[in-house]
Structure 1
Amino acid sequence: MLFVGVHMLLVSKLALFELAWCFFYLGFLLFLPIATPIVLQLVLGFATGLLMDIFYDTGGVHAAAAVLLCYLRPWVLRLLTPRDGYEAADSVNVHQMGGQWFVVYIALLIGLHHLAFFLLELGSFRAFGLTLVKVVGSTLFTGLTLLIVQLIFFPTRRRNR
């Protein structure tokens, strides 16, 4: 829940030209251990999103998008499964999985989360071009921030296979 606290206290005020926002709290959901049961992921996604909805007064938009992210996460993990498969102790870590794997993982999940979030927030396809700019900008901003966090704060030690 450190990600949620940092988001509420520090990151929530960051915006780039009112077109890109950093959804730092997604790091909590994205960096869950790979073996986390899907039901627990969905509950954690809903609780985290609901907390953000209460903080931002957004009426369920964060909760819906976070649950979608948690629902799609196992599919993306299956899509990106390494040749040797995952081990029970594996976690989402740029140092263990590699930079290319990590960038594809966060780009897919954050992009889908942001697409759902901004379309639900808008409530229509009226300003789809501007919404698409927000999705791409926010995906890049959030993804780059979470990549930096991974590179600085997560262990660099590789497992022996």
Structure 2
Amino acid sequence: MNSSFGIKHIAQFILFVALQILLVDNLVLFGTGFCFIYVAFLLFLPIGISRMWLLILGFITGFTVDVFYDTIGIHAAASVLLAFLRPLVLNLLTPRDGYDTNDSVNIHVMGWRWFLAYALMLILLHHTAVFFLEKISLQDAWYTLAKILLSTLFTTTVMVILQLLFFSPKRERVDYR
């Protein structure tokens, strides 16, 4: 990894976690839909990042949110699950020509359908883990499912808006040596 790669992603980490803690924490749709924008950091990492780094970054990201939310490891567990499943989802969605290992996840490069399938699958899995770990019972399963679905749609919509506003339509070249 080169230094510009590290600096760029450290800045993204700080930005997404700060947005989550300072701003998005107070955004709730109908008392049910929550936005967990910090997962964008994990979803937008380059495709060629190693699994070990992905799992470590997943833990650090979730643990940081847990510290501020006082949620005793719920976000850390869900983020590590997301980081673990991300390469599997990428393999599942591999285009016919394969990925360029230098590509980052970008709606402009990968296309709408690919990005929505990728984001919806991983966000749904993450949110399912968060809300079922939070409740640890099936007593209010319908309410929990409503929270999962509404939160998944809310988070995905915010991520699409972020991609369209702040991510470049051209391919980025990253050197992983």
Superposition TM-score tier, normalisation by shorter sequence? over 0.9
- Give the CA deviation at 1:158: 5.4
**Residue of structure 2 in register with 1:79 after alignment:** 92
Aligned partner of 1:111 in structure 2 is 124
**Structure 2 counterpart of 1:82, which letter?**
P
1:111-160 alpha-carbon deviations (Å, 9 max, x no partner): 0000111000001111110000000000000000000000110001258x
Matched, 1:25 2:42: no
5+ residue gaps, structure 2: 1-12, 173-177
Partner Cα distance (1:86, 1:104) in 2: 16
| Correspondence list, 1:1-161, <5 A | 1=13, 2-157=15-170
What TM-score, normalized to structure 2? Answer: 0.88
Amino acid at match of 1:96: V
Q: Which runs of 5+ in 1 are unaligned?
A: none
Per-residue CA deviation, residues 2-56 of structure 1 (Å, 9 max, x unaligned), is 1111111211111012100000101000000000101101010101100111100
Runs of 4+ in 1 over 6 A off after TM superposition: none
Number of aligned residue pairs: 159
Q: Percent identity?
A: 53
Measured in 1, the distance between the counterparts of 2:83 and 2:137 equals 24
Conserved? CA contact 2:108–2:170, under 8 Å? yes
SS in 2 for 1:72: helix
Paired residue type of 1:111: L
Distance 1:158 1:40, change over 3 A: closer
Indicate if the aligned counterparts of 2:103 and 2:171 stay in contact, CA closer than 8 A: no
Distance 2:96 2:104 in 1: 16
CA–CA separation in structure 2 for the residues paired with 1:47 and 1:154: 24
**1:146 is matched by which residue type in structure 2?**
M
Residues 51-73 of structure 1: CA deviation (Å, up to 9, x unaligned): 11110000000000000000000
